[in-house]
Structure 1
């Protein structure tokens, strides 16, 4: 925002105003260096080191005393460097009684301290490693980390909760006005995170973290910020946009927070999207072009350090003293080909070198190419290996328990399948030596293994949620879009040990992004059918669907185990990750009270041990799912290097169509 008064002589008759520039980042996910540790290749367009160059330039434009730098959460986890730092922290914590005792500063925190961040919000992934590693990492921060709704214990009201980090903070600044005089400005910041965080990581947080609704917590704490004389209150909302009136304990609440009287600015994150920009065009309550939520200035700066949010605020004097927000310009500055800041690289170089060394360690050998480039359409050897490793450990885990003797299944999802990571974001590991970094590609999150007892009805509901990743393909359609762009790949579970058919001509039963039920066919949380028994298409003993008996029929039309059609009352054990077992990814249909057993080790460690003990990997079985014949074709985008000779599936008919404008390889799938 250009202010003529900044360059023109001051006019004593003109009321002074303040200019404040807010710089925001979000969802950095331990990306410091522009380097992909999973493929061991340099990358462009991401990382805090490159963002640092943009931050320095943006500060110079506005002036240090007119600039605020904040982050909206998910700082510590997301790359092998974050995992390496957590491992060092855990080793130190195991030798001391005080996780907050001084120790080596986390490389992300070291870089953020260097850049002089003013505050940050707690993100759900900052808790992935447990409360003690999080506390140890943030103990090294020169800035406050905030969260008002994730707490140690719930009190009678939010202000009476026992915090794990401060709910809010106040920054007192002296800011030059347009007359050149320094003016006191009091800025309040309050942080929130998805309340589901306490559930998603229950395996390491159970009994230590409780949650409140984010908007409720903001409303309760806001009077204290205003009573303290804050001129400006900024919400650091680690949440997606959501709806104006969300249900209690909703995951995405940034729009709801913006509607609270007394909140001036909302900085959002979590969903890895961009505001301003086309991602939210047409969303009620959002001005996607101007960067507004409920009419208030707002930004969401992508993920992995892809963008710097820049908000230029004009504040006018209040008649009784103090300042109020009068105008704002909001923009994003993409990193793209920005050169990394050498100082940030130097500060974090030891951690970078140690991480690369760990990732390069040879852990096994594979006779087959391990890839997920066709994970949503056919066989994916990478997922077959993950499912195999989960099942192998689950058999040992359930021995002697109530789950012993149940048919054992294994659910796996492609954590890398394009999306925000672009056409390079696919698992594609050539046959030969397997390194530690390859296993991180298959299991990139610090989840634990969990084995659940489920019914046949639960399995059907589980698979219906997974099938919402597909667009509806009418019979006879030509080159329909196959994958819903709102669907995150990690929400597509395939369950090994089953065989099932998906009819994509039927509409999905769940929203592709959130997993919310779209029709009355959504079964109760217990997994039982409705009393009238309706809702699912019956089977006639063949592997093709019968004619629909209900307009609410789902996409799963044939569901078999060991050659036998599965009844709703059949019982199984399913090996999955702790995030999915807690309902993460929109899987609220998984019964919360079902018997379950958790491993104590991270799933990655189990995978590494399985590969090391296998001698040689040969994971190349068929996909558990197939598609009902529709006489149609659909288009699939995948990695640019994919060929049918190297990656093809003999059970699917595919035809290559070349590259699209975004660099993806495009294939025609015959349904």
Structure 2
């Protein structure tokens, strides 16, 4: 393993070592090993490579496989050959981001390919993953422990089983593959892949034999240059038909591929089938990643793009057409440019099957648990069809595998679908069975990620969790808002906006999202590491500054009020408090002002931000410094690029809107480093009005939260939920609110007055600027033992159980905080 080293990085590493020396723990006192992923033996008929057992030692530093830089349409790891197809000029990708034309791929087969004959039938199986979000292995980096509820290593077991049942397989991935966990962050910002280096996620997909994939919205989170490197070595075509060059209007990426597959028909004879595959992404990437994409791409409406490309795919010889739709299913109403259009894509002529995702939901449902989409016209929730077309949405993080079975008959010179069925299969969450190939190839990236996330950044005086973040002001959101205000004040120093009130907006990202009882932040009191900050702030967002007036601020909060159902103040029956159809990441808590919600009133906006009750108003008593906020009063609000570039009511009309050069997550890290010890107490700046007093209001949260009620006034545990695994039913009791002012944080005494930044600034390869806080007087020692000084020969990462050498500590500390070290792989 080699590092690029310079005088600058040496000086920084030594300075960082000096500042963190008191936070080191003796390796003799904390000498445990990196948790090991144990892949139990998996017996299958198709692949003996799945059969392996993990060891009890720490993962070794095996060099990750690399491939030479090749066009995106070639698969250097397979035996497939490519031949160009004839394509109209208007449908040819000409950007150097990818190849110059779509291709037809021919897979070598053991048996001789035969031309189809009249009446011949073949059963084809499409297997699909979606929204893996760098969950390569069955490990939770936030909790720093193995889990059995996610991970491609677990999904791979389902893939091999499905292949054994029917080897006539097309295997595809539906995007949002390279972002989402600390592993994705590490491989993009701390140790980004270089030219010719394969991203570990695609090393895994390549190993499993994936035929093709598409680009999700999160593939664009790290910029076009990084994405180009990923695509060039993916080992499979990554398709997109609606992202275009803004000047030429040509495809920026390969719009489709046609794969010539040799299958076995129902009588055992070999038959050739040409499978056309295309993909799309939501047009909203132009808002979500505006800083990277503005002026560099345009994005067509997804439905129109698929509608136009399908005939081209057919004309170039495809027997069937599969659409990889990185878009939610949405609903049966359609507007050009909308985000979730899987329903409409499945309804297009010429489309044989659709893979959807993006929404992290599941389709089809089951008899016990019908899907959310079963209520729409044309949806067959039993057989997994939308207007006759089979469709899957296989959850998130590798927790499900989409399976579409097509029975095709060759009639009148073409293949026709005679029957079809779509299902999703859930991974085995009760055992540790995982695919050893994925475990083995992930070792290096997995180990490095663990070392990265275990870097300690500070201390918390109390636990931080999000179990009750939807029913009361919560410490997990409070800390984010405190950090964002701290950072914004530095950034605005010396600017015209510095004299305006500075507010902060943050949402509870982990609050049982999509019915997942494990999706909660849960950080114990004591040391805080990078993994905990990542748990607080899941997304790779960039901080943004907005200027809004009081009227716009109120509309912003009216939209956030959609998190709550309207309740009947005269009812004595139990009523559900939380609107579970509302996305928790849209429930912005705005700190710096105080306000209340009257949820006996209807919502003004629906969950997409459309006005549904024009005269409605839930926001009450909106005040700043104890005075009512006026419509003309101006505020600065620090938020993130996702919110700043969206269509959120109030936000979209901001008079000032610009991005800063730091990720929100890194701002939180810098804040905790500067403060050293943080107090996560919520200030209760938002509450409900007394209109709900005496009502029987119910809500669900993780059942294990019942153990925390001793410190929660007004919350009562009722019982475990019978319909929602892992959840418990609680009652919310209205109590007259109490406003608590949190203690004032330390003031940095070494601020650059020209920039408002503190300490030394370092620019990452991605262009992101990270600031090392200025040296501060050490905070009082915490009550519990934090660290002791030992010899230079051996140190341990604080409170992590990972022993390491002093040199490694210097390197990983620098990696964790400024990214100045970039590791170069040995070929």
TM-score by length of 1: 0.87
> Per the alignment, do residues 421 and 482 of structure 1 end up closer, same or farther by CA in structure 2, a change over 3 Å counting?
closer
Structure 2 residue aligned with 1:422: 516
Structure 1 residue aligned with 2:213: 120
Q: Do the aligned residues in 2 keep the contact of 1:194 with 1:239 (CA within 8 Å)?
A: yes
Structure 1 residue aligned with 2:324: 236
Q: CA deviation at 1:597?
A: 2.9
> Per the alignment, do residues 250 and 450 of structure 1 end up closer, same or farther by CA in structure 2, a change over 3 Å counting?
same
Structure 2 residue aligned with 1:332: 424
Distance 2:239 2:496 in 1: 42
Structure 2 residue aligned with 1:318: 411
Q: CA deviation at 1:402?
A: 4.0
User: In terms of mean alpha carbon deviation, does 173-182 or 638-647 score higher?
Assistant: 638-647
Structure 2 residue aligned with 1:31: 135
Q: Do the aligned residues in 1 keep the contact of 2:456 with 2:530 (CA within 8 Å)?
A: yes
Give the aligned length: 607
Corresponding residue SS for 1:626: strand
Structure 2 residue aligned with 1:76: 178
- 2:353 is aligned with 1:265: yes
Structure 2 residue aligned with 1:625: 686
Q: Do the aligned residues in 2 keep the contact of 1:255 with 1:285 (CA within 8 Å)?
A: no
- 2:612 is aligned with 1:508: no
Distance 2:537 2:279 in 1: 29
Structure 2 residue aligned with 1:110: 203
- 2:624 is aligned with 1:561: yes
- 2:641 is aligned with 1:578: yes
Structure 2 residue aligned with 1:663: 726
Q: Do the aligned residues in 2 keep the contact of 1:128 with 1:201 (CA within 8 Å)?
A: yes
Q: Do the aligned residues in 1 keep the contact of 2:697 with 2:732 (CA within 8 Å)?
A: yes
Corresponding residue SS for 1:641: helix
> Per the alignment, do residues 36 and 133 of structure 1 end up closer, same or farther by CA in structure 2, a change over 3 Å counting?
same
- 2:454 is aligned with 1:366: no
Q: Do the aligned residues in 2 keep the contact of 1:46 with 1:304 (CA within 8 Å)?
A: yes
1:448-463 alignment, distance < 5 Å:
448-463=542-557
> Per the alignment, do residues 254 and 13 of structure 1 end up closer, same or farther by CA in structure 2, a change over 3 Å counting?
closer
Corresponding residue SS for 2:459: strand
- 2:581 is aligned with 1:468: no
Structure 2 residue aligned with 1:138: 231
Distance 1:444 1:31 in 2: 13
> Per the alignment, do residues 432 and 666 of structure 1 end up closer, same or farther by CA in structure 2, a change over 3 Å counting?
same
Structure 1 residue aligned with 2:612: 518
Distance 1:480 1:646 in 2: 21
Q: CA deviation at 1:396?
A: 1.8
Q: Do the aligned residues in 1 keep the contact of 2:124 with 2:405 (CA within 8 Å)?
A: yes
Alpha-carbon displacement from aligned partner over 1:291-341 (angstroms, at most 9, x marks no partner): 11121111111111111111111111131x231222112111110336110
Q: Do the aligned residues in 2 keep the contact of 1:415 with 1:444 (CA within 8 Å)?
A: yes
1:573-612 alignment, distance < 5 Å:
573-583=636-646, 587-591=648-652, 594-612=655-673
Corresponding residue SS for 2:135: coil
> Per the alignment, do residues 647 and 188 of structure 1 end up closer, same or farther by CA in structure 2, a change over 3 Å counting?
farther
User: In terms of mean alpha carbon deviation, does 473-482 or 23-32 score higher?
Assistant: 473-482
Alpha-carbon displacement from aligned partner over 1:233-260 (angstroms, at most 9, x marks no partner): 1111111112344111100111111222
Corresponding residue SS for 2:375: coil
> 2:472 is matched with which residue: 366, 372, 378?
378
- 2:588 is aligned with 1:493: yes
- 2:709 is aligned with 1:614: no
Distance 1:456 1:13 in 2: 71
Q: Do the aligned residues in 2 keep the contact of 1:203 with 1:448 (CA within 8 Å)?
A: no
Q: Do the aligned residues in 1 keep the contact of 2:603 with 2:616 (CA within 8 Å)?
A: no
Structure 2 residue aligned with 1:18: 122
Q: Do the aligned residues in 1 keep the contact of 2:457 with 2:676 (CA within 8 Å)?
A: no
Alpha-carbon displacement from aligned partner over 1:448-483 (angstroms, at most 9, x marks no partner): 110100111111111111110111111043431111
Corresponding residue SS for 1:311: strand
Distance 1:644 1:456 in 2: 40
Distance 1:43 1:561 in 2: 44
Alpha-carbon displacement from aligned partner over 1:168-193 (angstroms, at most 9, x marks no partner): 11111222222333222111111011
Q: Do the aligned residues in 2 keep the contact of 1:31 with 1:79 (CA within 8 Å)?
A: yes
Distance 2:166 2:464 in 1: 50
1:53-92 alignment, distance < 5 Å:
53-63=157-167, 66-88=168-190, 90=192
- 2:480 is aligned with 1:480: no
> 2:283 is matched with which residue: 195, 212, 231?
195
Distance 1:647 1:194 in 2: 45
Distance 1:561 1:13 in 2: 77
Corresponding residue SS for 1:353: helix
Distance 2:137 2:680 in 1: 33
Q: CA deviation at 1:400?
A: 3.4
Distance 1:403 1:649 in 2: 38
Distance 2:289 2:298 in 1: 11
Distance 2:298 2:550 in 1: 32
Q: CA deviation at 1:578?
A: 0.9
Alpha-carbon displacement from aligned partner over 1:370-398 (angstroms, at most 9, x marks no partner): 22221122231121111011011111222
Structure 1 residue aligned with 2:344: 256
Structure 1 residue aligned with 2:51: none
- 2:531 is aligned with 1:437: yes
> Per the alignment, do residues 13 and 501 of structure 1 end up closer, same or farther by CA in structure 2, a change over 3 Å counting?
closer
Q: Do the aligned residues in 2 keep the contact of 1:378 with 1:649 (CA within 8 Å)?
A: no
**TM-align CA RMSD:** 2.0
1:289-304 alignment, distance < 5 Å:
289-304=382-397
Structure 2 residue aligned with 1:355: 449
Distance 2:117 2:730 in 1: 67
Q: Do the aligned residues in 2 keep the contact of 1:659 with 1:666 (CA within 8 Å)?
A: yes
Structure 2 residue aligned with 1:147: 240
For the pair shown, which has the larger CA radius of gyration, 1 or 2?
A: 2
1:149-188 alignment, distance < 5 Å:
149-153=242-246, 155=248, 161-188=249-276
Distance 2:721 2:272 in 1: 54
Distance 2:247 2:655 in 1: 26
Greater RCO structure (CA 8 Å; 6+ sep): 2
